[in-house]
Amino acid sequence: MIYTLSDQDLNNMEKYSVLDIKISVIVPCYNVSNYITACVKSIVEQTIGLSHLEIILINDASTDETYNMLLNIEQQYPDNILVVNCDVNGKQGRARNIGLSYASGDYITFVDADDQIAPGMLDELIRGLLYCDASIAECEAQMIMDYNNIPKNIEPNESTVHKLTRVESDEEARIFYINQAFETSVCRRLYRRDFIEDTKLCFPEQIFMEDIYFSQLAMIYCKSMYQVNIPYYLYYIHPDSTMHSARLASYYMDIHKVSTLVIETVKERGLFETYKDALQYVYTQKVFHDLTDFMSKSIKPFPIHNYQIMKQYIEDTFH
């Protein structure tokens, strides 16, 4: 069931006390010396106040000046910033898991080190989450092409909608999962720590597209989510971004691998029969149909064997 919050709800939400709130912000860092200062600045300047934040910066064996920069930042904010150093690169999944192991806040969010967040993001999300007694709170994101031209004054306007979704049946759970499964970024969301712990959510390690695994399992377990359509999260598109690189062909196999991992986990946890049709729909749309569309448009040949792997997986798993 989806509820749109009224003006009275919003007034009450604005008055909600965040006095004892602590949010852990987890930021994996790998060779981000050009971006990390601006990223951390955007977190430190959150309107909720730095005293409510624990910022965990994980250096994932960077080979540039990232680690030294992180140490300098930590010295500036010793009470609120913790730097964790990894000697071996474990990709974002491992770095985020390490961040979770250090986090002490009752609420958790993730920010990528080359992105930024608008000043009001965490204040909006924590108030919505608390007022609605939700497991997850979510805002929207906007793509930034020019790092020197970051939008200012991102705040509610006449088109802003605040809503709460409550899942009250298996059918609603399947519909909710399908509607949310394609929004795979773990950023722009605020999670209750106990929700993550109770559902044993974590990131797969040494694999790309780890967001898909965490996000889709979260949507399977989530029974209440607060959402606001304000693009507080500023996602920077740069030449090295996954979707804008030369590795698009392997990208689809990465999605296949992590999607099958989601399905296997759902089976292990005894939820497959409840979500079987929804899982098939999401896998078919996100992996198989996207792949065939890519193959039809690509000027480079796609290995037909990979296509056959996915087709056979659908037959073996869902039929």
Q: What is the pLDDT of residue 252?
A: 73
Give the residue-averaged pLDDT of 187-208.
Answer: 95
pLDDT higher than 90, residue 296 = no
Instruction: Read off the pLDDT of residues 50-63 as tens digits, 9 standing for 90 and up.
Output: 999 999 999 999 99
pLDDT higher than 80, residue 225 = yes
Instruction: Read off the pLDDT of residues 264-273 as tens digits, 9 standing for 90 and up.
Output: 999 999 999 9
Distance CA 156, CA 100 (A): 31
Phi/psi of residue 183, nearest 5 degrees: -95, 85
Label residue 168 by pLDDT band (50, 70, 90). very high
Q: What is the pLDDT of residue 245?
A: 45
What's the per-residue H, E or C state across the chain? CEEECCHHHHHHHHCCCCCCCCEEEEEEECCCCCCHHHHHHHHHCCCCCHHHEEEEEEEECCCCCHHHHHHHHHHHCCCCEEEEEECCCCHHHHHHHHHHHHCCCCEEEECCCCCEECCCHHHHHHHHHHHHCCCEEECCEEEECCCCCCCCCCCCCCCCCEEEEECCCHHHHHHHHHHHCCCCCCCCEEEEHHHHHHCCCCCCCCCCCHHHHHHHHHHHHCCEEEEECCCCEEEECCCCCHHHCCCHHHHHHHHHHHHHHHHHHHHHCCCHHHHHHHHHHHHHHHHHHHHHHHHHHCCCCCCHHHHHHHHHHHHHHHC
Label residue 71 by pLDDT band (50, 70, 90). very high
Q: Which strands sit side by side in the sheet containing 162-166, from one edge to the other?
A: 2-4, 162-166, 224-228, 136-138, 189-192, 107-110, 23-29, 53-60, 81-86
Q: What is the pLDDT of residue 246?
A: 45
Helix 7-14 and helix 121-132, axial crossing angle in degrees, nearest 10: 110
Q: What is the pLDDT of residue 306?
A: 74
- pTM of the predicted model as reported, rounded to 2 decimal places: 0.92
Neighbours of 202 (CB within 10 A): 17
Q: What is the pLDDT of residue 253?
A: 79
The per-residue pLDDT of the chain, averaged, comes to 90
CATH code of 2-238, in short, is: 3.90.550.10
Q: What is the pLDDT of residue 123?
A: 96
For the ranges 41-45, 88-92, 105-109, 258-262, the lowest mean pLDDT is seen at: 88-92
Percentage above 90 pLDDT, the chain: 67
Give the residue-averaged pLDDT of 137-143.
Answer: 95
Characterize the bridge pairing of strands 53-60 and 224-228: unpaired
Label residue 242 by pLDDT band (50, 70, 90). very low
Residue 105 token pair: 């806040």
